[in-house]
């Protein structure tokens, strides 16, 4: 029997576009259709940003070095990304969502949660709404989307991946716990390769293994995340769809065709990235307190250095100053730099910062 103190069950849809970037390129260029396509750079230092399903059958995956992708799929065709086009299509898709509900939580350009418990057309069936959305996306954009329909966000996201591509999966409340129990733990959102490896070492390979653990045991091994894992393993997730969800970070990075070996070259690269990132910060009207530098060496070792302030980074000059101080921490260079990135995190809107100032004393800028 449901606990009377539990929140009411919701009707949640998770929409995930199928191989979004690559599918847009195949749509716009008929010569690419039915062929293995990778969006990204084909140079020795290139990285795959997205792969078509034809490429995925050969083991090509996003974030894979281009040289590795070519070894796995010698016929792979590389296409330069067109982010302005992807953003335009994403806005089209978002407009389709908005016909049904205002409770839309985007996760990226190609996926989002929708709460259709109460919707604009008073349609009782969330499955029907998901079918309508997928049909509209196909008709208006020429692309396919997969959808997961369930009673919470956790299971809806798992379900959207179940029948890809161009699939629909519905998991009802009475099916939730058994569905989760049968899944490999690596399918759980938030469980990356390292966490999955740690869990395997603790005897957790499936959702059922996770459900066997007590909340106290999970808290001891995974900290505060243990409470979420305890509920998720039982098909429980009370997180609401948040249409005002704020991005956790804004950043940028660049992979270089030739390694950076000099201090002057590294500092020039940093300033270029700082300009790009700060333009994105201003465009999003965001404020953040933590600056993180990411550097990847020629041997693929990756390091990060971060600095957090007591108040938001005020402007581009301060952002650059912190970035330069972080670069000082990795000098002198002992190896060439193949990738450099800069991120501003701990984000909030200007309005939220004003509210926060009323709730807590101002800390010194340091």
* CA-closest candidate to residue 130, choices 95, 96, 88, 90: 96
* CA-closest candidate to residue 129, choices 240, 13, 9: 13
| Residue 165, preceding peptide bond in cis (omega within 30° of 0) | yes
- Enumerate residues 6+ apart whose C-beta is below 8 A from 83: none
Residue 288 DSSP label: -
In sequence order, the β-bridge partners of residue 344 are 250, 291
Q: How far apart are CA 148 and CA 169, in angstroms?
A: 5
Residue 30 DSSP label: G
Q: How far apart are CA 248 and CA 245, in angstroms?
A: 9
Residues 94/145, Cβ–Cβ less than 8 Å: no
With 0-12 CB in 10 A as exposed, 13-18 as middle and 19+ as buried, what is 55? buried
* CA-closest candidate to residue 43, choices 265, 253, 254, 251: 254
Output the CA angle 104-110-114, nearest 5 degrees. 20
* CA-closest candidate to residue 250, choices 153, 328, 353, 319: 319
- List the catalytic residue out of 111, 140, 197, 253: 111
What separation, in Å, do the N-terminal and C-terminal C-alpha atoms of the chain show?
54
Q: How far apart are CA 251 and CA 17, in angstroms?
A: 23
Concerning whether 111 is annotated as a catalytic residue, the answer is yes
* CA-closest candidate to residue 230, choices 217, 242, 240: 217
Query: How many C-beta neighbours within 10 Å does residue 29 have?
Result: 13
CA distances in angstroms from 230 to 5, 190, 226, listed in the order given: 18, 14, 6
In sequence order, the β-bridge partners of residue 51 are 38
Q: Which residues carry out catalysis?
A: 111
């Amino acid at each position: 029997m449901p606990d009377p103190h539990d929140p009411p069950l919701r009707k949640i849809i998770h929409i995930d576009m199928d191989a979004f970037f690559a599918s847009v390129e195949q749509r716009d260029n008929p010569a690419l259709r039915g062929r293995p396509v990778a969006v990204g750079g084909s140079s020795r230092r290139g990285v795959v940003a997205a792969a078509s399903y034809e490429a995925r059958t050969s083991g090509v995956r996003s974030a894979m070095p281009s040289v590795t992708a070519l070894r796995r799929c010698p016929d792979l065709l590389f296409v330069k990304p067109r982010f302005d086009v992807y953003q335009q299509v994403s806005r089209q898709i978002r407009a389709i969502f908005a016909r049904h509900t205002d409770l839309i939580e985007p996760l990226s350009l190609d996926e989002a949660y929708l709460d259709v418990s109460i919707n604009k057309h008073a349609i009782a069936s969330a499955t029907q709404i998901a079918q309508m959305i997928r049909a509209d996306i196909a008709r208006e954009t020429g692309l396919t989307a997969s959808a997961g329909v369930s009673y919470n966000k956790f299971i809806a996201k798992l379900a959207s991946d179940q029948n890809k591509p161009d699939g629909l999966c519905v998991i009802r409340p009475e099916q939730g716990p058994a569905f989760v129990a049968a899944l490999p733990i690596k399918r759980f959102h938030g469980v990356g390769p390292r966490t999955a490896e740690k869990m395997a070492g603790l005897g957790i390979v499936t959702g059922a293994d996770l459900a066997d653990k007590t909340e106290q045991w999970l808290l001891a091994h995974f900290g505060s995340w243990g409470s979420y894992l305890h509920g998720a393993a039982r098909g429980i997730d009370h997180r609401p769809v948040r249409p005002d969800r704020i991005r956790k970070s804004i950043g940028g990075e660049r992979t270089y065709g030739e390694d950076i070996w000099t201090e002057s070259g590294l500092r020039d690269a940093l300033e270029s990235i700082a300009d790009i990132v700060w333009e994105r910060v201003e465009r999003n009207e965001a404020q953040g307190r933590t600056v993180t530098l990411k550097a990847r060496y020629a041997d693929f070792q990756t390091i990060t250095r971060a600095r957090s302030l007591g108040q938001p980074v005020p402007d581009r000059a301060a952002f650059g100053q912190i970035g330069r101080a972080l670069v000082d921490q990795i000098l002198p260079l002992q190896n060439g730099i193949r990738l450099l990135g800069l991120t501003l995190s701990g984000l909030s809107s200007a309005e939220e910062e004003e509210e926060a100032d009323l709730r807590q004393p101002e800390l010194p800028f340091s």
